[in-house]
Chain A
Amino acid sequence: MSILGTRVVRTEDPRLLTAGGTYTDDLRLPELAGALRVTFVRSPVAHAGISGIDVKEALDSPGVVAVLTAADADDLPASDGRPATEPLLASDRVRYVGEPVAIVLTEDGYQGEDAAELVSVDYEPLPAVVGVDAALAGTSLLFPEAGSNVVRSGGGPAPDGAFDGCDVVVERTFPNQRVAPVPLEVRAAAATWADGRLTLWASTQNAQQARDQVAGALGLDASSVRVITPDVGGGFGAKIATDRDTIVVAWAARRLGRPLRWVETRNENLLGMVHGRAQQHTIRIGGSRDGRILAYHLDIVQDCGAYPRFGLFLPTLTQLMASGVYDLPYCGSSFQVVVTSTTPISAYRGAGRPEATAAIERAVDLFAAEIGLDPAEVRRRNLVPPDAFPYTTPGGAVYDTGEYAAALDKVLAAAGYPELRAEQARRRERAEVVQLGIGVSCYVEITAGDYSGGETSRLVVDGTGAATVYTGSSPHGQGHATAYAMLVTSELGIPMDRITVRHGDTDEIPRGVGTYGSRSLQLGGSAVHQAAVEVREQARGLAAGLLEASEADLELDLGRGTWQVRGDPDTALSWAAVAGQAGPAGLAADVDFKPASPTFPFGAHVAVAEVDTETGKATLIRHVTVDDAGRVLNPVLAEGQRHGGIAQGVAQALLEEVRYDPDGNPLTGTLADYAAITATELPSFELVAMETPTTVNPLGVKGIGEAGTIGATPAALSAVVDAVAHLGVRHIDMPATPLRVWTAIREARS
Chain B
Amino acid sequence: MDRDQGGSLVNVTMTVNGAEVAADVEDRTLLVHFLREGAGLTATNVGCDTTSCGACTVLLDGESVKSCTVLAAQADGHDVVTAEGLAMRGAGEAGGGELHPVQRAFRREHGLQCGFCTPGMVLAAVSLLQENPQPTEAQVRMGLEGNLCRCTGYHNIVRAVLAAAAELAAEPGEPGEPGAPDAAALAAGPAEVAP
Chain B nearest CB from A110 CB (Å) reads 7
Q: How far is the CA of A551 from the CA of B86 in the complex (A)?
A: 53
Complex interface: stretch among B72-80, B117-125, B183-191: B117-125
The CA-CA distance from A21 to B86 in the complex, in Å, is 15
Pick from A142-150, A570-578, A645-653 the stretch touching chain B: A645-653
Interface of B: prevailing SS: loop
Alpha-carbon separation in the docked complex, A708 to B150 (Å)? 13
- CA of A518 to CA of B127, assembled, Å: 36
A-B contact pairs, 23 of them (CB 8 A): A13-B107, A13-B112, A17-B103, A18-B99, A19-B95, A20-B83, A20-B115, A23-B42, A108-B37, A110-B28, A182-B148, A184-B45, A184-B149, A232-B114, A233-B45, A266-B49, A477-B115, A640-B151, A646-B153, A647-B152, A671-B47, A672-B52, A685-B153
Q: How far is the CA of A111 from the CA of B36 in the complex (A)?
A: 17
Proximity bits, B99-116, A CB within 8 Å = 1, else 0 = 100010011101011111
**Contact across chains for A682 and B153 when beta carbons are under 8 A apart:** yes
| Interface assignment of B171: CB less than 8 Å from any CB of chain A | no
Q: Which A residues lie within 8 Å of B117 (CB)?
A: 184, 233
Within 8 A of B (CB), among A52-74: 61-63
Which residue of B92, B118, B148 is within 8 Å of A678 (Cβ)?
Answer: B148
| Other A-B pairs, 12, CB within 8 Å; known A13-B112, A185-B114, A671-B47 | A12-B115, A18-B103, A19-B43, A19-B84, A22-B42, A637-B110, A644-B152, A644-B153, A670-B49, A672-B50, A678-B145, A679-B142
- The docked-state distance in angstroms from the alpha carbon of A477 to that of B119 is 15
Within 8 A of A (CB), among B117-165: 117-119, 122, 137, 140-142, 144-159
Given contacts A28-B40, A183-B150, A645-B153, contact A18 B116 (CB under 8 A): no
Task: Say if the beta carbon of B26 comes within 8 Å of chain A.
Answer: yes
CB distance from B96 to the nearest CB of A (A): 7
B180 at the interface (CB under 8 A from A): no
In the complex, the answer to whether B110 meets A478 with C-beta atoms within 8 Å is: no
Interface residues in A447-497 (C-beta closer than 8 Å to B)? 476-479
Question: Distance (Å) between the CB of A193 and the closest chain B CB?
Answer: 24
B81 an interface residue at 8 Å Cβ cutoff? no
CB distance from B152 to the nearest CB of A (A): 6
Q: Considering only CB atoms, which chain B residue lies closest to A184 in the complex?
A: B116
Q: A residues within 8 Å of B by Cβ?
A: 9-10, 12-23, 25-26, 28, 61-63, 108-111, 114, 182-186, 231-234, 236, 263, 265-267, 476-479, 636-637, 639-640, 643-648, 670-672, 676, 678-680, 682, 684-685, 708
Identify the 5 closest CB pairs spanning chains A and B, nearest first: A20-B43, A233-B116, A647-B153, A477-B114, A18-B95
Give, as a whole number of angstroms, the nearest-CB distance from A53 to chain B: 23
Assuming A19-B84, A21-B116, A23-B116, is B141 touching A644 (CB within 8 A)?
A: no
Q: Is the CB of B114 within 8 A of A111?
A: no
CB closest residue in chain A, given B94? A14
Whether A110 contacts B6 by the Cβ 8 Å rule is yes
Least Cβ–Cβ distance between B183 and chain A, in angstroms: 14
* Chain B 10-49 interface mask (CB, 8 Å, partner A; 1/0): 0000000000000000101100010011001011111111
Asked if A13 and B155 make an inter-chain contact with CB atoms under 8 angstroms apart, the answer reads no
Inter-subunit contact B148/A9 (CB<8 Å): no
Do A643 and B107 contact each other (CB < 8 Å), given the known contacts A15-B94, A17-B112, A62-B6? no
Contact among A62, A108, A643, A670 with B155 in the assembled complex (CB-CB below 8 Å): A643
Q: Which residues of A contact B87 (CB under 8 A)?
A: 17-19
Structural contact, A640 and B50, CB atoms closer than 8 A: no
- In the complex, the chain B residue whose C-beta lies closest to that of A234 is B114
Please, which residues of chain A bring their CB within 8 A of the CB of B146? 678
- A267 and B49: CB pair below 8 A? yes
- Distance in Å from the Cβ of A410 to the closest Cβ of chain B? 20
- Verify if B168 is at the interface (C-beta below 8 Å from A): no
- Most chain A CB within 10 A, of B47, B106, B144, is at B47
What A residues does B52 contact at CB under 8 A?
Answer: 266, 670-672, 676
Write out the residue numbers on chain B whose beta carbons fall within 8 Å of the beta carbon of A26. 36, 42
Say yes or no: B110 contacts A679, CB within 8 Å.
Answer: no
Provide the bound-state CA to CA distance between A28 and B38, in Å: 12
Is B93 touching A679 in the complex (CB atoms < 8 A)?
no
A29 to B: closest C-beta gap in Å:
12
Q: Which residue of A lies closest to B143 (CB)?
A: A679
Q: Which residues of chain B come closer than 8 Å to A183, judged between CB atoms? A: 114, 116, 150
Measured between beta carbons, the chain B residues less than 8 angstroms from A479 are 113
Contacts of A476 in B (CB 8 A): 114
A637's nearest neighbour on chain B, judged by CB, is B110
Select A644's contact among B28, B84, B113, beta carbons within 8 Å. B113
- Asked if B42 and A679 sit within 8 Å, CB to CB, the answer is no
**What CA separation (Å) do A680 and B140 show in the bound complex?**
9
- Smallest distance from the beta carbon of B154 to chain A beta carbons, Å? 4
A17 touches B106 (CB 8 A): yes
Inter-chain CA distance A680–B153, complex, in Å, is: 11
Which residues from B are CB-within-8-Å of A20? 42-45, 83-84, 115, 118-119
Residue of B nearest to A647 (CB): B153
> From residue B164, how far is it (CB to closest CB) to chain A in Å?
12
Q: How far is the CA of A186 from the CA of B53 in the complex (A)?
A: 12
Partner of B3, one of A13, A62, A236: A62
Among candidates B47, B92, B95, B153, residue contacting A184 with C-beta atoms closer than 8 Å: B47
**A28-B42 contact in complex given A16-B118, A17-B122, A19-B96, C-beta closer than 8 Å:** yes
A182–B151 Cα distance when bound, in Å, is: 10
Is B55 an interface residue when CB atoms closer than 8 A count as contact?
A: yes
Q: A182-B150, A184-B117 are in contact. Are A670 and B110 (CB under 8 A)?
A: no
Residue among A234, A645, A708 with the most chain B CB within 10 A? A234
Whether the pair A266, B53 counts as a contact (CB closer than 8 A) is yes
Query: Does B153 lie within 8 Å of A15, measured CB to CB?
Result: no
Contact of A18 among B28, B37, B97 (CB under 8 A): B97
CB distance from B81 to the nearest CB of A (A): 13
Pair B141/A184 contact, Cβ less than 8 Å: no
Q: Considering the chains assembled together, what is the distance between the CA atoms of A236 and B151 in angstroms?
A: 9
Q: How far is the CA of A648 from the CA of B152 in the complex (A)?
A: 10
Determine the distance from Cα of A24 to Cα of B158 in the docked complex, in whole angstroms: 28
A234 touches B151 (CB 8 A): yes
B155 touches A685 (CB 8 A): yes
List the A side residues contacting B142 at CB < 8 Å: 679-680
Determine whether the beta carbon of B119 is less than 8 Å from that of A184. Answer: no
- Chain B residues with Cβ below 8 Å from A478 are 113
- Contact present for B110 and A23 (CB under 8 Å): no
- The answer to whether B48 touches A671 (Cβ under 8 A) is yes
Residue in A closest to B42 when the chains form the complex, CB atoms: A26
Name which of A20, A109, A231, A647 has the most chain B CB atoms within 10 A of its CB.
A20
Contacts A14-B99, A684-B158; A184 near B150 (Cβ below 8 A): yes
Which of A110, A184, A267 makes the CB contact (< 8 A) with B148? Answer: A184
Across-interface contacts of A19 in B (CB, < 8 A)? 43, 83-84, 87, 95-96
How long is the Cα–Cα vector from A231 to B116 in the complex, in angstroms? Answer: 9
The 8 Å CB contact of A111, one of B6, B97, B140, is: B6
Compute how far the CA of A150 lies from the CA of B101 in the bound complex, rounded to whole angstroms.
Answer: 56
Write out the residue numbers on chain B whose beta carbons fall within 8 Å of the beta carbon of A13: 106-107, 112, 115
Known: A28-B40, A643-B153. A17 touches B137 (CB 8 A): no
Given the known A-B contacts A671-B52, A680-B141, are A10 and B84 also in contact in the complex, defined by CB atoms under 8 Å?
no
A contact residues around B112 at 8 Å (CB)? 13, 16-17
Residues of B within 8 A of A679 (CB): 140-142, 144-145, 147, 149, 154, 157-158
Min CB distance A216 to B, Å, is: 28
